[in-house]
């Protein structure tokens, strides 16, 4: 007799597979495939020597070794939290007192992903509203769905989130009597995953102003995901959105050591508004009562010795070369395709490609089938859009990651993608002229 179904919780039932897993599998199973899909980092430059040196130093000192091999604390290693805060303040060019911050507002997490999850768990009941950029980081969509949140997408352009559109959404929610359900506005404001776009300076200021205004009755928080901030290879660093919240009550700032250092260390952090840290730590206590302590000690040493910053300099140069390789190849291969456009990121790992609307980039579309045949993989843009507010999802976009592939592979991958697109366009043209002929013949009669 088969036993009854496993009684999964409502949350487990709301949690689907990440659509990307199928694509990751394809890349692993097919070694000739060039994947521009996975958001992994450059392999060659992973800092093995620097990490070995840090570990050697740590384990050679008996007292440090014992401290690192023991459990740590739930908020994380005190010296690392101090360094995180100091680096943040230096990047913003402010003193701690000017922005109402201390190291007690910093929490070290198991990747910034854990911080994103904990913030959801902390704030969201099923039916609560989270406003996100459209497109947005699809793994975050997944966790919002797990928490039962209603995702309301807000348009963006080359300057990032459209704050007028955000205000329009908030106004509409207010009219519907739903403003009290709005808990969070999520922005990935530096070299966004997936589009590579950065939120403009003036919009940063306005985002905080609008959030404060609409959150007068029920506080609305901004979740600023700065995962790619340190991967800037062109232009100036912009102040964080959090910089415009000097009283430290609206903006949760999160970033990570995964992208600028090594994802295998899986360590990130949050810098939290006053009042949020204690309840978040209680939840984190349920998860793990502290992230991997050994790893925190390693990162602490990498930061203190300057090895981290030396690594960043090399990494930025490597990504600039790869970004250039991708932009050059796109210009060469797609420059003549009417309606094809792409972003020009000044940091991070992603280019967002927009194709003519008839080229369906989706998982069941012809382009992906042809791309796989050619041996190239991208993330279908529709994965990065939340089913929101009734509008059909755009089906002509793709996320291209230049993180993992070499410059030569990137060049070849874009050539393959163009061949795939070319075949879909040719067969569409053939179909159109086959349809057009009988009509033309009828017109001649």
Residues at the interface with ligand PLP (CB under 6 A): 39, 111-113, 137, 188, 193, 225, 227, 256, 258, 263, 266, 268
Residue closer to ligand PLP by CB (options 36, 227) is 227
Question: How far is 106 from 176, CA to CA, in rounded Å?
Answer: 37
Measured from the CB atom, the residue of 299 and 420 that comes closer to ligand PLP is 299
Please identify, using beta-carbon distances, which residue of 137 and 214 lies nearer to ligand PLP: 137
| Residue 211 or 258 with smaller CB distance to ligand PLP | 258
Residue 109 CA to residue 269 CA, distance in Å, equals: 5
The CB-nearest residue to ligand PLP is 111
Shortest Cβ distance from residue 404 to ligand PLP (Å)? 12
Long-range contact pairs involving 308-311 (C-beta distance under 8 Å, separation at least 24): 308/50, 308/260, 308/261, 310/50, 311/45, 311/47, 311/50, 311/260, 311/261
Q: Least Å distance between CB 265 and ligand PLP?
A: 9
Residue by residue, what is the 3-state secondary structure of 118-135? Answer: HHHHHHCCCCCEEEEEEC
Tokens of 351: 């280019």
By beta-carbon proximity to ligand PLP, the closer residue of 188 and 276 is 188
Give ∠ CA 174-180-181 in degrees, rounded to 5: 100
Q: Write the CB contacts of 334 (distance below 8 Å, at least 6 apart in sequence).
A: 340, 342, 353, 414, 418, 421
Q: Can you name the residues that pair with 108 across neighbouring β-strands?
A: 269
Categorise residue 390: left if φ over 0, alpha if ψ from -120 to 50, beta otherwise: left
User: Smallest distance, Å, CB 263 to ligand PLP?
Assistant: 5
Residue 108 or 188 with smaller CB distance to ligand PLP: 188
Of the pair 81, 266, the CB lying nearest ligand PLP is at 266
Half-sphere exposure of 397 (CA within 13 A, CB side): 18
Of 299 and 367, which has the nearer Cβ to ligand PLP? Answer: 299
Q: For the CB of residue 80, give the shortest distance to ligand PLP in the complex, in Å.
A: 15
List Cα–Cα distances, 29 to 49, 263, 300, in angstroms: 30, 22, 37
Q: How far is the CB of 135 from ligand PLP (least distance, A)?
A: 12
Largest CA distance in the chain: 96
Residue 187 Cβ vs ligand PLP, minimum distance, rounded to whole Å: 10
Smallest distance, Å, CB 189 to ligand PLP?
Answer: 10
Least distance in angstroms from the C-beta of 36 to ligand PLP: 15
For ligand PLP, which is the closer residue by CB, 227 or 355? 227
Q: Give whichever of 261 and 340 is closer to ligand PLP, judged by the CB atom.
A: 261
Nearest to 407 by CA among 313, 327, 291: 327
CB of 254 to ligand PLP, least distance (A): 7
Min CB(44)–ligand PLP separation in Å: 19
Looking at beta carbons only, is 170 or 302 nearer to ligand PLP?
Answer: 302
User: What CA–CA distance (Å, rounded) separates 162 from 134?
Assistant: 10
Minimum distance from residue 168 beta carbon to ligand PLP (Å): 25
């Amino acid at each position: 007799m088969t036993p009854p179904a496993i009684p999964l919780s409502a949350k487990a039932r709301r949690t689907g597979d990440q659509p990307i897993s199928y694509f990751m599998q394809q890349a692993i199973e097919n070694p000739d495939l060039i994947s521009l899909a996975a958001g992994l980092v450059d392999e060659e430059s992973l800092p093995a020597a620097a990490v070995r040196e840090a570990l050697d130093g740590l384990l050679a000192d008996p007292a440090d070794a014992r401290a690192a091999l023991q459990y740590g604390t739930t908020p994380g290693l005190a010296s690392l939290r101090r360094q995180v805060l100091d680096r943040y303040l230096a990047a913003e060019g402010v003193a701690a007192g000017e922005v109402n911050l201390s190291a007690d507002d910093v929490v070290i997490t198991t990747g910034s992903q854990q911080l994103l999850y904990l913030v959801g768990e902390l704030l969201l009941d099923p039916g609560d509203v989270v406003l996100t950029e459209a497109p947005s980081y699809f793994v975050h969509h997944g966790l919002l769905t797990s928490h039962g949140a209603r995702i309301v997408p807000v348009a963006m352009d080359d300057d990032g989130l459209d704050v007028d559109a955000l205000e329009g959404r908030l106004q509409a929610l207010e009219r519907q009597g739903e403003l009290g359900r709005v808990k969070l506005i999520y922005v990935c404001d530096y070299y966004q995953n997936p589009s590579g776009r950065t939120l403009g300076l003036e919009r940063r200021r306005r985002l905080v102003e609008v959030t404060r205004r609409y959150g007068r009755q029920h506080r609305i928080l901004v979740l600023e995901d700065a995962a790619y901030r340190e991967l800037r290879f062109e232009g100036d660093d912009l102040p964080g959105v959090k910089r415009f919240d000097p009283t430290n009550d609206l903006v949760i700032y999160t970033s990570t050591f995964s992208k600028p250092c090594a994802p295998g260390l899986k360590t990130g952090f949050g810098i939290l508004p006053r009042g949020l840290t204690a309840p978040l730590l209680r939840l984190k206590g349920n998860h793990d009562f502290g992230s991997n302590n050994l790893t925190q000690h390693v990162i602490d040493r990498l930061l203190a010795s300057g090895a981290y910053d030396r690594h960043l300099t090399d990494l930025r140069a490597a990504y600039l070369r790869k970004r250039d390789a991708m932009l050059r190849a796109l210009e060469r291969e797609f420059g003549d395709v009417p309606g094809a456009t792409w972003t020009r990121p000044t940091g991070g790992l992603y280019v967002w490609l927009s194709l003519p609307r008839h080229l369906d980039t989706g998982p069941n579309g012809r382009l992906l089938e042809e791309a796989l045949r050619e041996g190239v993989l991208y993330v279908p843009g529709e994965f990065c859009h939340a089913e929101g507010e009734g509008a059909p999802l755009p089906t002509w976009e793709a996320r291209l990651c230049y993180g993992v592939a070499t410059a030569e592979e990137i060049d070849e991958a874009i050539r393959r993608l163009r061949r795939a697109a070319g075949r879909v366009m040719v067969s569409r043209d053939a179909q159109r002229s086959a349809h057009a002929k009988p009509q033309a013949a009828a017109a001649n009669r």
